[in-house]
Amino acid sequence: MAASISGYTFSSVCFHSANSNSDHEGFLLGEVRQEETVSISDTQISTAELLQVVEIHNHDPCAQLFSFYDYAGKVNEDNLNRILKDRRKSVIGWYRFRRNTQQQMSFREQIIHKQLTQLLGVPDLVFLLFSFISTANSSTHALEYVLFRPNRRYNQRITLTIPNLGNTSQQEYKVSSVPNTSLNYAKVIKEHGAEFFDKDGVMKDIRTIFQVYSALQDKVQAVCGEVEQSERVKEKIQEDVNKLKQQIALRKRKTAEEERRLREAQNAESHPTSEENSEPSETSLLSRVAFHAPSAPERPGTSPNPPSYSDLLSQEDSLLSSSSSPTSAALLPRPQAVGSPGHPTPGPLGMGLGLSLGLGLGLGASSNPVPTPSTAYLGNGDGSSSDSLDRQAAGQEDDDDDDDDDDDDDEDSSEYENLVSEAAHLPMVSASVLAQGRPAALSPDGDARGSQTS
């Protein structure tokens, strides 16, 4: 059992007692509650400890001795009620103060205690004994106090703690759980409480903070929605891209097959053509890789100078069978050389380009066969590397993406010229690649020029 008394109650009792010129007594008001502590340790599953806590909130001093009992120590219930009135139900004990006596319950105190236990119906009624000891020359006075629970057989003395009385430098200031029963306090709080509390008794600050929190939560929810939507869009586009890639691959395979057949057919008739035009026609070759036109594209001129891109463009226009786009130039990718003014904006278009370019040159060759120092590394949004050659090959994929191509058209074709001149700097392209990608008009062994007919 643990017991505590608030500091102000204790000092009030002491004040009343010390000021009386005889023994003094009164009642202790408070509450008794049971505290259950469950402790879990490594060695045991759990142990529950039941602790009875007695809290003394207030006291009711008696005006005089023998006010509720007679000489024989018999308690008079009427007098008791008169003294306690409606506080009777919160009585948890009583106290006595006597100077210069032993810390032991006296004869009459024991008799009264028994009766009070019965009358008040408190089985564990406590008794607080104050004893004031003074030295002979009155130089030192000691106030001793002991809390008894006389109704028990053993362990009759309980330690009484007074919160915040002690060495507070080592302890925190404890807030007592003793309720404040002061009327004045209640009045003031009621008056000024409206500034801090709303009508439900909740602190206003809390509500405000909660509102902020709610707003933040709403915003987060909204952003979540947006993220979800954009994710779905991205998903859809990703699907589309994948589909297109599949189509490209399919087309390439078919084109390659057809070319092979054509070549085989041609080889049976004529000797292999020279490869003079191999270089200059590389560009045209590559740009036509994606085409699956049944007829062989018209061969560019056998002049050593490679045809300008614009010529190619015009030719390719006629080759395009499926598209009905206004200008084929719009469909062609825009190769980027070093120092080129513009750069297609990374986005769906860019991504589309990159991927298709990669695929375009994937026919038996690595997707990046021609990285040269002089060639600008064309970056697109998706990280796949592409170069000028790649870009050119992917002309067909631009069918779906008309928007940006208009912009591309506006740019001059100087870049293409650059590209064309740089075509000569592409030595690493393997002949086999070229052979595969060559238009049908070219001989397989590379003597493209030689086979050109005028």
Residues that bind other proteins (CB under 8 A): 18-19, 21-23, 65-66, 71-74, 98-102, 104-111, 134, 138, 141
- What are 319's two structure tokens? 């080759």
Q: Which is nearer to other proteins, 132 or 197 (CB)?
A: 132
Q: Which is nearer to other proteins, 102 or 182 (CB)?
A: 102
Q: Which is nearer to other proteins, 140 or 170 (CB)?
A: 140
- What are 369's two structure tokens? 């066969």
Could you please report the per-residue DSSP string of 170-216?
Answer: SSPPPPP------HHHHHHHHHHGGGTB-TTS-BHHHHHHHHHHHHH
How far apart CA 355 and CA 375 sit, in angstroms, is: 19
Q: What three-state secondary structure class fits 427?
A: coil
Q: Which is nearer to other proteins, 52 or 106 (CB)?
A: 106
Min separation Cβ 107 and other proteins, Å: 4
Min separation Cβ 139 and other proteins, Å: 10
Other CB atoms within a 10 A radius of the CB of residue 348 amount to 16
Distance linking the first and last C-alpha atoms of the chain: 118
How far apart CA 439 and CA 308 sit, in angstroms, is: 17
Q: Which is nearer to other proteins, 41 or 138 (CB)?
A: 138
- What are 123's two structure tokens? 């089985």
Q: Which is nearer to other proteins, 66 or 213 (CB)?
A: 66
DSSP code for 428: T
How far apart CA 307 and CA 420 sit, in angstroms, is: 9
Residues in the chain: 454
Min separation Cβ 89 and other proteins, Å: 28
Min separation Cβ 126 and other proteins, Å: 18
Q: Which is nearer to other proteins, 83 or 111 (CB)?
A: 111
Min separation Cβ 135 and other proteins, Å: 10
Min separation Cβ 16 and other proteins, Å: 13
Min separation Cβ 66 and other proteins, Å: 6
How far apart CA 443 and CA 87 sit, in angstroms, is: 118
How far apart CA 303 and CA 224 sit, in angstroms, is: 62
Residues facing 97 on adjacent strands: 24, 130
